[in-house]
Amino acid sequence: MDIDATALSHLLRKHPGKVQAFSLPIGQAHVFYPEVSAERTTAALMVEVDPIGLVRNKRFRGDSGMLDYYINDRPFVASSLMSVAIGKVLRSAMTGTSESYPELAAAELPLRIGLQVISTRGRDGQDLASRLFAPLGWSVEQEPIALDGQYPQWGPSRYSSLVLSGQVRLDHALRQLYVLLPVLDDSKHYWVNDDEAAKLARQGEGWLENHPERDVISYRYLAHQKDLVALATSGMKATPQSDDSTGSAWEGEHSSARAPLRVQRAEAVLTALKDCGAQRVVDVGCGPGALLRRLQADRFFTKIMGTDVSARSLEQAARSLHLEESSDAERARIELLHSSALYSDDRLVGFDAVVLMEVIEHIEPSRLGALVRSIFGSVAPHSVIVTTPNAEFNALYPDLAAGTMRHDDHRFEWTRSEFRQWAESVAADFNYQVEYRGIGGESKHHGTSTQMAIFRKETA
Amino acid sequence: MSELLIPESGLVLLIGVSGSGKSSFAARHFDKFEVLSSDYFRGLVGNDETNQAVTTPAFEALHFVAGKRLEAGLLTVIDATNVQRSARRGLIELAREHDVLVSAIVLDLPISVCLERNEGRGEKTVPRGAIERQQQQLRKSLRGIRKEGFARVHVLSGIAGMDAASIRRHRLLNDFKDEHGPFDVIGDVHGCLDELLMLLERLGYSVSRDKADRAVDASHPAGRRAIFVGDLVDRGPESVGVLRLAMGMVNSGNAMAVPGNHEDKLVRALRGTKVSLGHGLERTLQELEAEGPEFTRAAKDFCAALTSHLVLDDGNLVIAHAGLIEKYQGRASRRVRAFALYGQVDGEKDEYGLPVRYPWAKDYRGAAAVLYGHTPVTEVAWINNTACLDTGCVFGGQLTAMRYPEREVVAVDALRTWSDPIRPLQSPHGPQREPGLLTMGDVTGPLHLETGDLGTVRISAQQAAGALETMSRYAIDPRWLRYLPPTMSPADSSTRTGYLEHPDEAFAYYRKQGINELVCEEKHMGSRAVMLLSRDPARFDAPVGWLGTVHTRTGRQFVDEMTERLLLQRAHEICDSIGLWDELDSDWVILDGELLPWSLKAESLIKDTYASVGAAGIKATGAAVRVLERAAAQGLDVGGLLERTGTRHGNALAFRESYRRYVGDPGDLRFASFQVLAAESGSFETREHGWHLGIGQRLVAAGADLFAPTNWLRVQLDDAGSIAAAVQWWEELTAAGGEGMVVKPWQNLTRGGKGVVQPGIKVRGREYLRLIYGADYLDEGNLERLRHRATDRKRSRALQEYRLGLEALRLTVAGEPLWKVHQMVFGVLALESEPIDPRL
């Protein structure tokens, strides 16, 4: 098909001889044509963001406080701001209809789209653009942008320039950009609500249903809100083959849901508590309440206290324990306390046992002494149960580089002998007897993944 | 007219039938909040003062409120019939719980009067039968009421008796708050008369003797008074001699005394109670026997009359033989007396068969200094504002006195070992020294932190909770975290075109505070850092070989341990070389400064934020300019847009230049010291900045490989030339890429009309502010909006933090317990936990 490229201006319904400006909540959009000929016509959509307004306007509080700062990349990145501009300025072109050129509006056209700066966040990294656009018939050229040429050691930035070329319907191309720019960026400048799910289904019509990365796209577009993803997917006319692909990427971001070691660890702690006859238990550093839930479910435990240094974790724990809906008796049985293990706290006195499950490795070695004094010295319960990773076992984790730790926040990870040395000295200083148990799969040379020490107070 | 003596704090029960006039009696003699009426509480919980159905909840509420008042030490009068013994028992229990005295005032009126009054009450009339029943209960009560546990029972008979009564409030026997000393507090003497005489002489007392050359009194020419902490007798050679002298001094007003457990036991023995004669009591009794009955009786009366403890000097000093927890100070109850004489013992015995004493001083958090004896220790040491003065003279140790308020220890050695100790003398720090142990109570809000003469800083529960995680998970060991610097406010927004901040507004602030002399200090392009250097690790309870620490403004460690060690070693060498230790008369010093380069701490911030935004901005605006130029070449009118975009491209490039100035070689560490915060000899907030900067300059001169200079300029606000020079200095500094300057009062800590003035105001440079407000902030449209910023909250917080920081330093200098220092430091972090516009 021989096409007059100047028809682009008709399809976009923007006059080729004018520089048009459109007012947006976040600034201004400009449309103009730097190049107009029958062979090739280029339309430019430029978004001029008001950076101060973006910070000061309370409407824009979409994601993690990014817009609280004047120093942010939003004015420069083709992101959800660009999507808003496309949706506002080129709305009619997104419908795939045209009064003057109806056949062109419905035809696959030779298009070339240049995006000067896109941002690719998250684990998927640099190949995400290809994975998103190539299945839609685009050939993708991606050029990374250096962070700062003066410091080559810093490497590339998280930005790149992107050129897409292919035979694609214009309305699809625009709707694909509308959806995929925020997906690439994995962020939105506004609060994502239920409407977004419907919007995704509408704008994805005709190209998203069978996209191999459909789940990643939905998940990221809907700001990682699972319930919205379910809503959107139900609104899509999914064709059977898409079901095969459900999985890999989704799993990649969510694989933490299954973690048998956690379960084994919690069960080992419960067993140890019962072996100690401890019915009144404090879980120090309870986090969002993983162990507390198990303690709660087991009527053997008559009094349960969870403490954490993070008020946020305690809120999560309260929710996961359904304390708000609980009876007075249950509320009296379970108590949550904002407290730090480095300060001695009388409110912990009188319990049978204190559990420090995966806690000590989050504390600076120089301050472990304060924890020991407060728990073993001041609280001094009959039993103390401590679990911590076994550093030797790390060799068996294929994804863990040698010499690195299992979690960013771990201040140390001990070998079995280091752990024992510490435990023996604590036990000696505060008159406890100590027993060791392994948790998780055991290797002949490396021991178990988690190591546990059970301290019992020596009775004279 | 009869005068009723009532302790000025404590509980008073009015007892009388309905209609006996309790409420009007209470209203006449007590203030309105002092009287808790059961009828009123019926109204509070049941909307009706006569509703008998709510009696139980009404009394629960009344007991609760009464308890709160007693806790606060307030006199509380219960206006209820109180004719039943069971009703009184609950209130007596309540008084005991709060360790206060309880008195009773019985209004014993003829029933005819009560009945008649009752008739006139209208709706509030009580059934006649009820009043008659109450009258019977009252009659029954009057028989045994004096044995119920009241300190005093006053019975007012008839209307005449009631009308004639007046109330006189008296102080508790332990209340000597208006005695301000100076005092010499003397530890357990145990019959060591010779050592006591030597000690008194060393303290400057002159001893008077009777005809038989026996010491009977001692006075101080400067009017100082001795205070004996008890245990004058037993074990030693001359208990009678010691008693004679102490009794003489107390009787003449030259001394005060509290009883020890040995005096208590002696009194019981002399009263004929059967007591075991161990621990030297038998010897004392023999001595008294030989002395004769007259002296024995005098000694018995003297010992029996001693009050369990003394509260002196506006409540700042408490004397008790075995010490006293804060809750018991100034209170009166059996357990207060028991604690004061014997300490808290829970029946547990140690390996020597002696009772294990609860180490109360370890948990003591009271404001009053407590001086005590009872437990022989090897040395006198202040533990949480308490000190034990029993240094075991009778066991061959020393007899010790503490001068108050000087807090100076004066001691004489024992002439010999008079008695063999049952167990070795203990360290005053107890068996487990735990100076680093802090409690949740120390850091749980709301906290009212007293910053000496600078006033109180209040930390809310939320603010305190907000700092708990940061302090626990990220800060360095609290033993070494002695100070956090305050936040600093910028100058008010400038109204000059092209400026958001300008020196004029900083000068205007200080001019308004009435300050003329200022110093402008270069604002370093690094991170605020506090450096603690110590040649004496023990001073900070640190391990041998510890040199100090360098931490950030939120208490985090700056660099890895190896780097820190090398840095501190070098800092020590340089301080050695300029003779800083002798000059400050100290083995440690805390320096306030800035650690350079900024990229050391902030490299990830520079890369992830500044460089990233720069890269995106330069690329995007550059590309936009090219496209616009092509459009212009097509003849399209993109003039304004092209020009704007070109400017933004230029701004993005300038932005990149601004952050590049902060990228340095992390191996090339420099510390710019601009203030010497504290050393053993004091804190230096009142030394003028010239002194502080002078030391900074000498550190640079001696070791420019570590210490970086701080450029500064002195300004006189009454001299226009001086101001112009300062503005020009700032312009040049910032034009050359400098971050800006900080303006401070030259004389340092300054008080203005409304309290302490800002210790510093920052004025940041135009280019630097791109890193705060964005590459395009200088666009006049943007600038106009940015000028609206609220510096008030920032300033009030800066002052609160400044005061807490100063107090933390002063407490450290004074060797105060760690928890006190930590509260101040924690307070700074707690205030920081509440968000304020981060760009200010």
Kindly state the average pLDDT of the residues B54-80.
95
> Is A52–B774 a contact, with Cβ atoms under 8 angstroms apart?
yes
What mean pLDDT, rounded, does chain B reach? 92
**Nearest CA-CA distance, residue A284 and chain B, Å:** 13
> Is A34–B634 a contact, with Cβ atoms under 8 angstroms apart?
yes
pLDDT of res. A231: 65
- Provide the token pair at B429: 């720090």
> Is B437–A75 a contact, with Cβ atoms under 8 angstroms apart?
no
User: Which distant-in-sequence residues (6+ apart) come within 8 Å of B787 by Cβ?
Assistant: B493, B494, B495, B500
Nearest to B620 among A34, A117, A343 (CB): A117
> Is B660–A36 a contact, with Cβ atoms under 8 angstroms apart?
no
Contacts of A18 in chain B (CB under 8 A): 636
CATH of the domain at A95: 3.30.1610.20
Q: Which amino acid is at A143?
A: E
Confidence check: pLDDT of B444 > 80: yes
Query: Does A256 map to a domain?
Result: no
Q: How many CA atoms lie within 13 A of B324 on its CB side?
A: 33
A27 and A171 inside one domain: yes
Radius of gyration of chain A (CA): 29
Contacts of A41 in chain B (CB under 8 A): none
pLDDT of res. B435: 54
**Nearest CA-CA distance, residue A358 and chain B, Å:** 14
Query: Does A98 map to a domain?
Result: yes
Q: With residue B431 as reference, give the H or E element that holds it.
A: none
Contacts of A311 in chain B (CB under 8 A): 465-466, 468-469
Using the 3D structure, point to which of A149, A175, A191 is the last residue of a domain.
A191
> Is A117–B616 a contact, with Cβ atoms under 8 angstroms apart?
yes
> Is B441–A338 a contact, with Cβ atoms under 8 angstroms apart?
no
Contacts of B432 in chain A (CB under 8 A): 377
Ranking A301-305, B74-78, B391-395, B445-449 by mean pLDDT, the lowest is B445-449
Which of A47, A342, A361, A363 is the mutation pick for testing B, counting most B CBs within 10 A? A342
> Is B777–A147 a contact, with Cβ atoms under 8 angstroms apart?
no
A417 and A274 inside one domain: yes
> Is B634–A48 a contact, with Cβ atoms under 8 angstroms apart?
no
Nearest to A147 among B611, B631, B644 (CB): B611
> Is A75–B617 a contact, with Cβ atoms under 8 angstroms apart?
yes
Q: What strands lie across the sheet with B76-79, from one edge to the other?
A: B35-37, B76-79, B11-15, B102-108, B152-157
Confidence check: pLDDT of B737 > 90: no
Closest alpha carbon within chain A to B617:
A76
Residues B388-421 have pLDDT tens digits of 999 999 999 999 999 999 888 999 999 999 998 8
A137 and A55 inside one domain: yes
- Provide the token pair at B256: 């005060």
Closest Cα partner for B584 from B694, B430, B728, B508? Answer: B694
Give the span between the Cα atoms of B176 and B258, in whole angstroms. 12
Query: Does A438 map to a domain?
Result: yes
Nearest to B436 among A338, A340, A370 (CB): A370
Q: Evaluate whether B768 touches B736 at the Cβ level (below 8 Å).
A: no
Unique residue bearing structure tokens 């033993």: B479
Give the span between the Cα atoms of B482 and B533, in whole angstroms. 12
- Residue that wins the pLDDT comparison between B286 and A250: B286
Q: Evaluate whether B184 touches B221 at the Cβ level (below 8 Å).
A: no
Unique residue bearing structure tokens 């979409």: A62
Contacts of A52 in chain B (CB under 8 A): 773-774, 777, 782, 785-786
User: Which distant-in-sequence residues (6+ apart) come within 8 Å of B259 by Cβ?
Assistant: B230, B303, B306, B307, B308, B321, B341
Give the span between the Cα atoms of B531 and B552, in whole angstroms. 9
Contacts of A151 in chain B (CB under 8 A): 611, 663
Unique residue bearing structure tokens 């932005």: B655
A187 and A273 inside one domain: no
Closest alpha carbon within chain A to B624:
A46
Residues B308-352 have pLDDT tens digits of 999 999 999 999 999 999 999 999 988 899 999 988 766 666 666
Q: Evaluate whether A391 touches A413 at the Cβ level (below 8 Å).
A: yes
Q: Which amino acid is at A236?
A: M
Ranking B180-194, B520-534, B654-668, B755-769 by mean pLDDT, the lowest is B654-668
Q: Evaluate whether B501 touches B742 at the Cβ level (below 8 Å).
A: no
A122 and A268 inside one domain: no
A157 and A269 inside one domain: no
Contacts of A342 in chain B (CB under 8 A): 438, 472
Nearest to B774 among A51, A119, A146 (CB): A51
Pairing of strands A108-119, A156-169: antiparallel
Q: Which amino acid is at A84?
A: V
> Is B616–A145 a contact, with Cβ atoms under 8 angstroms apart?
yes
Give the span between the Cα atoms of B678 and B689, in whole angstroms. 14
Closest alpha carbon within chain B to A28:
B641
Distance of CA B834 to the CA centre of its chain: 23
Residues A425-451: b if buried by 16+ CB within 10 A, e if exposed: ebbeebebebeebbbbeeeeebbbbbb
To the nearest whole percent, how much of chain B has pLDDT over 70?
Answer: 97
> Is A70–B441 a contact, with Cβ atoms under 8 angstroms apart?
no
Contacts of B623 in chain A (CB under 8 A): 116-117, 161
A165 and A265 inside one domain: no
Contacts of B660 in chain A (CB under 8 A): 148, 150
Query: Does A229 map to a domain?
Result: no
Complex ipTM, two decimals?
A: 0.79
Give the span between the Cα atoms of A47 and A25, in whole angstroms. 11
What pTM was estimated for this model as a whole? 0.72
Give the span between the Cα atoms of B261 and B270, in whole angstroms. 14
A293 and A147 inside one domain: no
Contacts of B365 in chain A (CB under 8 A): none
> Is A339–B440 a contact, with Cβ atoms under 8 angstroms apart?
yes
**Nearest CA-CA distance, residue B780 and chain A, Å:** 12
pLDDT of res. A53: 76
Query: Does A230 map to a domain?
Result: no
Find out whether the peptide bond into A381 is cis, omega within 30 degrees of 0. Answer: no
Q: Where are the beta strands (DSSP E) in B17-165?
A: 35-37, 76-79, 102-108, 152-157
Pairing of strands A334-338, A303-308: parallel
Query: Domain range holding A39?
Result: 7-191
Residues B254-277 have pLDDT tens digits of 999 999 999 999 999 999 888 887
**Do you know the residue count of chain A?**
460
A268 and A187 inside one domain: no
Q: What count of CB pairs under 8 Å joins A to B? A: 169
Per-residue pLDDT of chain A (460 residues; tens, 9 = 90+): 578 899 999 999 999 989 999 998 888 999 999 999 999 999 999 999 887 777 776 555 444 344 457 788 888 999 888 999 999 999 989 988 888 888 898 899 999 999 999 988 655 566 889 999 999 999 999 999 999 999 998 888 989 999 999 999 999 999 999 999 988 887 766 666 777 888 888 888 889 988 998 888 888 888 777 666 666 666 565 444 333 333 333 333 333 333 478 889 999 999 999 999 999 999 999 999 999 999 999 999 999 999 999 988 999 999 889 888 888 888 899 999 999 999 999 999 999 999 999 999 999 888 899 999 999 999 999 999 999 999 998 888 877 777 788 888 899 999 999 999 999 999 999 999 999 999 988 888 899 999 999 999 987 5
pLDDT of res. B50: 86
Give the span between the Cα atoms of B156 and B109, in whole angstroms. 8
Q: Which amino acid is at B343?
A: G
Distance of CA A455 to the CA centre of its chain: 37
Query: Does A421 map to a domain?
Result: yes
A50 and A163 inside one domain: yes
Residue B820 has φ and ψ, to the nearest 5°, of -70, -45
Find out whether the peptide bond into A34 is cis, omega within 30 degrees of 0. Answer: no
CATH of the domain at A353: 3.40.50.150
Nearest to A73 among B613, B634, B838 (CB): B613
Unique residue bearing structure tokens 């705060």: B772
Using the 3D structure, point to which of A191, A225, A241 is the last residue of a domain.
A191
Indicate the number of domains in chain A.
2
Q: Evaluate whether A93 touches A78 at the Cβ level (below 8 Å).
A: no
Query: Does A79 map to a domain?
Result: yes
Contacts of A76 in chain B (CB under 8 A): 613, 616-617, 619-621
Nearest to B627 among A17, A34, A148 (CB): A34
Kindly state the average pLDDT of the residues B655-660.
91
Query: Does A279 map to a domain?
Result: yes
- Provide the token pair at B219: 């006075």
Confidence check: pLDDT of B432 > 80: no
Task: Report the C-alpha dihedral over residues A225, A226, A230, A233, rounded to 10 degrees.
Answer: 60
Give the span between the Cα atoms of A89 and A65, in whole angstroms. 28
Which of B349, B433, B469 is the mutation pick for testing A, counting most A CBs within 10 A? B469
Nearest to B773 among A70, A310, A346 (CB): A70
Q: Evaluate whether B594 touches B527 at the Cβ level (below 8 Å).
A: yes
Contacts of A338 in chain B (CB under 8 A): 465, 468
Which ranges of A222-353 would DSSP assign to H, the alpha helix? 226-235, 242-245, 248-254, 260-275, 290-297, 311-320, 328-333
Using the 3D structure, point to which of A140, A156, A191 is the last residue of a domain.
A191
Q: Evaluate whether A318 touches A287 at the Cβ level (below 8 Å).
A: no
Based on the number of CB atoms within 10 Å of its own CB, is A1 exposed (0-12), middle (13-18) or buried (19 or more)?
A: exposed
pLDDT of res. A66: 46
Give the Cα-Cα-Cα angle A397, A399, A400 (nearest 5 degrees): 70
Q: Which amino acid is at A95?
A: T
pLDDT band, very low/low/confident/very high, at B790 (cuts 50, 70, 90) = confident
Residues B353-394 have pLDDT tens digits of 666 677 788 888 888 999 999 989 988 988 888 999 999 999
Find out whether the peptide bond into B405 is cis, omega within 30 degrees of 0. Answer: yes
Nearest to A343 among B443, B614, B627 (CB): B443
A175 and A267 inside one domain: no
A184 and A277 inside one domain: no
Contacts of B434 in chain A (CB under 8 A): 373, 377
